């Protein structure tokens, strides 16, 4: 590569990163800031407001299912784009993202361990935020379940795990390294992005997700393995999405009516 072509290549790479982020979680971060400005300037306190993560899209069952599945597929398009951009000609095809099938059992067990490390403090932070009136009431799943509700929620959890970890960790690490960023600036930037697109839930959610992002980024920098992070994220979301109706019935005082 000539000296003249290198700045041009880096400029193209910056535009690529900007486009990918605006098509995915960078766009979500912008919406999240606007939503936080909305809920924080209303007359009702933040703690009295509610945000639904997986709301019903129609009162007609078949159309609701069609909406849900279409939304999941479209949200995964940026993940497919990232895989296309980082695809290697030789195995492991997604090695640049830290994804391969070299040690599935070890990666799965590492993901399970992360569930305990992240999930329990995350739940405690959410409950503390609710008690202090700093976090909105987050409704992860509809209570009026259809036959397809649980499968769709499982797919939603998979979508979240793939989208966030593939783009915010795997993709950003590869691209920002190519742009000359150091390890810790990448970790911090990715963690801040993760926190901002959760800001719509309140400041405690921002802080908790920044902490999660710092841990996940540090682990990825040390191991180069993305699968454990995806497994942990998906399992945490499965527990939250599918467990919400049970928690609503068992602890009604935590959920405003």
Q: Please list the pLDDT of the chain residue by residue as tens digits (257 residues).
A: 555 567 779 999 999 999 999 999 999 999 999 999 999 999 999 999 999 999 999 989 999 999 999 999 999 999 999 999 999 999 999 999 999 999 999 999 999 999 999 998 998 999 899 999 999 999 888 767 789 999 999 999 999 999 999 999 999 999 999 999 999 999 999 999 999 999 999 999 999 999 999 999 999 999 999 999 999 999 999 999 988 766 666 666 655 55
Helix axes 149-163, 77-86, angle to 10 degrees: 40
- Indicate yes or no: pTM above 0.75: yes
**Residues contacting 6, CB < 8 A, separation 6+:** none
DSSP 8-class letter at 51: E
């Amino acid at each position: 590569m000539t000296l003249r072509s290198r700045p041009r290549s880096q400029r193209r790479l910056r535009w690529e990163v900007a486009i990918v982020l605006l098509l995915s979680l960078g766009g979500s971060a912008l919406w999240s800031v606007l939503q936080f400005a909305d809920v924080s300037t209303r007359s009702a306190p933040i703690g009295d407001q509610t945000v639904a993560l997986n709301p019903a899209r129609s009162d007609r069952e078949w159309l609701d299912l069609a909406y849900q599945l279409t939304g999941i597929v479209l949200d995964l398009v940026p993940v497919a784009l990232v895989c296309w951009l980082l695809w290697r000609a030789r195995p492991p095809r997604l090695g640049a993202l830290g994804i391969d099938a070299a040690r599935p059992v070890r990666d799965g067990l590492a993901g399970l361990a992360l569930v305990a490390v992240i999930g329990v403090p995350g739940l405690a932070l959410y409950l503390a935020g609710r008690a202090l009136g700093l976090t909105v009431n987050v409704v992860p799943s509809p209570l009026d379940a259809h036959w397809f509700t649980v499968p769709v929620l499982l797919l939603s959890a998979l979508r979240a795990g793939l989208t966030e970890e593939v783009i915010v960790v795997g993709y950003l690490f590869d691209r920002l390294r190519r742009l000359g960023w150091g390890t810790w600036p990448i970790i911090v930037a990715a963690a801040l992005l993760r926190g901002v697109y959760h800001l719509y839930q309140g400041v405690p959610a921002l802080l908790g997700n920044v902490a999660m992002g710092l841990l996940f980024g540090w682990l990825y920098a040390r191991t180069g393995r993305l699968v454990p992070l995806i497994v942990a994220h998906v399992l945490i979301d499965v527990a939250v999405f599918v467990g919400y109706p049970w928690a609503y019935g068992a602890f009604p005082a935590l959920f405003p009516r």
